[in-house]
Amino acid sequence: MPNGVEPVSAHTWPPARAAVSNTSRAPRNRSPGGVFIGCVPWGKVRNFAARFLPHASILTHRSSRLLHITEIHVTPIAVGDPPLRNAAGLHAPYALRTIVELVSDEGVSGISEIPGSDATTGVLREAAEVVVGRDPYALNGLEQALRQRFGEDAGDRRGQKPWDQRQLVHMFSALEVACLDMVGRATGRPVVDLLGGRARDRVDFSAYLFLKHEGAGGPLAFGTEDSASGWAAARQAEALDPAGVVAQAQAMCDAFGFRSIKLKGGALDPEIEVESMHALQRAFGDDVPLRFDPNAVWSVDTAIKWGKQLEGVLEYYEDPARGQAGMAQVREAVDIPLATNMCTTSFDDLPGSVRLGSEDIILSDHHYWGGLRASIELGRFCRSFGLGLSMHSNSHVGISLAAMTHLAAAVPNLTYAVDTHYPWQSDEVIVGGKLRFEEGALAVPEGPGLGVELDRDALARLHQNYLDCGLSKRDDEVEMQKVEPGWAFQSTRW
């Protein structure tokens, strides 16, 4: 792989095959790859398709035989991230991501992105023996093989901290997206078409605000770039009170055109965070939907007390308390729709959600729920049970954002604008630089597959960041101790 980034590769496909002979009848109308098309010669079908049919690459692409994966490249990267606060502490100067690239025997590639760590890199590299040689269309078989290899329950349990992941679900989501990107490239179709086609051409996103310390992140850490202006300046400014939050929101909405706003809370005293929401309403008016996420560190009593003061202010109230039972109590007492990305995060959680009535809205996330197809299934569930649907975000670059956009475009009942951390990341790993929002929305990327390409030079540079930054996993608690020595995560703080 270029630029010194070492892949995990295998070149043992295809295995040797015994010769097969059939002399009982002549092979009529067989294509060079062994494909029969009724009694019409394959060449005539191909020529007709190329001349008259749209998307003719489906028929004329050289892969008239099955694709097989011959290589997997796993590249951890680190992208600059400002000192953003949340319930679990503070973002490190770098957010860790893992880029996965699959390559087929026909030279067709597929890419994906997930949150990174040494453990994530290791398990994906270990998965190479399962992945190499497989058909990228056969995703059910791949998932079953991974479960057999790593154990049915391997990593299916999620911890209490917001970033804790189910390792097996996480790994499969990365491989599934890369396979779908490969299939899309091979057939000339965008991933949204592989998910059932477009329900919309553009996807609305929401401004995602954070309480934060001064600092630009990356090599500057808590330092700032004096020449920065506009959003670049606001991105590095302190926002630890209502005035700072409003200034951050105004700069982000001016830069990206977002028409709804969310604040990540659970970091400061509830009174400061609730007043920040009132300040946002005063600044933007009643027509801009507002969301607030205490990150599940408030007690039920605290969530009810402050939730009542937010009635008439919020579009939805995200994870004010921990667990489905706690959320159900808050939902019963407060007249605001409740949303979650923390108490209902897997299909195993859905029966409890329905039984207890723990939320009105589920925030999907293909990284958490096991891929794009699983997220489509979640959308159908929400439609059947009358639940709203939106989408959670994590610190990401353009590959994940492209996948999120294809998914959101394919879900008919996506009822709320989608979360994204994307404005907070200044680094990018795709050709052409950062994807561009227009009036707070992204058009579905053009081109086959995800519609984005790896920038090899950027990949090498960000991989070097990973090697140099000294981080092997995300730990916001340790980062917070740099600001407040002795600080410790508490699952319920207020």
Model pLDDT, residue 9: 44
Q: Under a CB-based contact definition with an 8 Å cutoff, are residues 42 and 29 in contact? A: yes
Domains of the chain (ranges; CATH) run: 2-11+69-193 (3.30.390.10), 195-454 (3.20.20.120)
Per-residue pLDDT for 7 more than 50?
A: no
Residue 264 catalytic?
yes
Model pLDDT, residue 360: 98
Measure the CA–CA gap between 59 and 71, rounded to whole angstroms.
25
Per-residue pLDDT for 448 more than 50?
A: yes
Span between the terminal Cα atoms of the chain, in Å: 50
The residue that leads in pLDDT, 24 or 130, is 130
Model pLDDT, residue 151: 75
Residue type, position 372, single letter? L
Model pLDDT, residue 166: 67
Give pTM, 2 decimals. 0.86
Q: Under a CB-based contact definition with an 8 Å cutoff, are residues 31 and 60 in contact? A: no
Q: pLDDT band for position 152 (50/70/90)?
A: low
Model pLDDT, residue 382: 97
Which pLDDT tens digit goes with each residue over 299-358?
999 999 999 999 999 999 999 999 999 999 999 999 999 999 999 999 999 999 999 999
Helix residue spans in 188-299 (DSSP H): 191-194, 230-235, 242-256, 270-284
* Annotated active-site residue in 170, 212, 264, 367: 264
* Annotated active-site residue in 73, 91, 366, 392: 392
Q: pLDDT band for position 153 (50/70/90)?
A: low
294: cis peptide before it, omega within 30°?
A: no
Strand, coil or helix: what is 90? Answer: strand
The residue that leads in pLDDT, 275 or 160, is 275
Model pLDDT, residue 8: 44
φ, ψ (nearest 5 deg) of residue 150: -105, -5
Measure the CA–CA gap between 195 and 116, rounded to whole angstroms.
26
152, with CB counted inside 10 A (0-12, 13-18, 19+), is: exposed
Which pLDDT tens digit goes with each residue over 381-421?
999 999 999 999 999 999 999 999 999 999 999 999 999 99
Model pLDDT, residue 135: 97
Of residues 295, 293, 286, 279, the one with CA closest to residue 247: 279
Beta pairing partners, 110: 102
Model pLDDT, residue 425: 96
Model pLDDT, residue 66: 80
Which pLDDT tens digit goes with each residue over 54-91?
444 443 344 445 899 999 999 999 999 999 999 999 99
